[in-house]
């Protein structure tokens, strides 16, 4: 019985850690006649050293199959102000895609101070940060 209790405790901790990193909202960033861009936003741990929002940015051409999409940013760190500046009022159909890679990258970011130090933080609009990152 004691062994079962230990396993239950370990699984409960693992579940809490995964839950702390789940998708919290989807924000539409741009809509054109042919393309929709959106951010899946993950906010997280409540850690004092992580005041940011973590997201992945996706793009989908209208009229394509649901599994045909482009990931514009695998893991983007943004300020709450940058997210609000990026949000548009227009509604659009978005899709939910597996986020296993995002969650792994995010965990590495959380656990490695060197990675956190070299990761840029977007403090403008999300699309302008992506554009600037592409021009480097």
pLDDT for 11 beyond 90: no
**pLDDT by residue (tens digit) across 70-99?**
999 999 999 999 999 999 999 999 998 888
pLDDT band at residue 117 under the 50/70/90 scheme = very high
Dist CA 96 CA 16 (whole Å): 22
CATH architecture of residue range(s) 22-134: Alpha-Beta Complex (3.90)
CA angle 33/58/99 to nearest 5° reads 150
3-state DSSP assignment of residue 28: strand
Dist CA 71 CA 69 (whole Å): 7
pLDDT for 15 beyond 80: no
In the chain, where the domains are located: 22-134
Tell me the average pLDDT across 108-135.
Answer: 92
pLDDT for the residue numbered 5: 46
**pLDDT by residue (tens digit) across 27-67?**
999 999 999 999 999 876 677 778 899 999 999 999 999 99
Sign for the CA dihedral angle at 87, 115, 131, 72 comes to negative
What is the value of pTM for the model shown? 0.78
């Amino acid at each position: 019985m004691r062994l079962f209790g230990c396993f239950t405790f370990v699984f409960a901790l693992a579940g809490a850690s995964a839950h702390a990193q789940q998708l919290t909202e989807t924000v539409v960033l741009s809509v054109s006649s042919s393309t929709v861009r959106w951010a899946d936003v993950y906010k997280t741990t409540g850690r004092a050293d992580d005041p940011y929002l973590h997201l992945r940015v996706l793009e989908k051409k209208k009229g394509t199959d649901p599994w045909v999409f482009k990931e514009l940013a695998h893991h983007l760190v943004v300020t709450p102000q940058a997210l609000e500046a990026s949000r548009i009022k227009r509604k659009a159909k978005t899709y939910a895609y597996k986020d296993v890679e995002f969650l792994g990258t995010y965990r590495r970011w959380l656990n490695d101070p060197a990675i956190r130090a070299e990761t840029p933080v977007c403090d403008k609009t999300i699309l302008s940060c992506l554009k600037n990152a592409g021009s480097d």
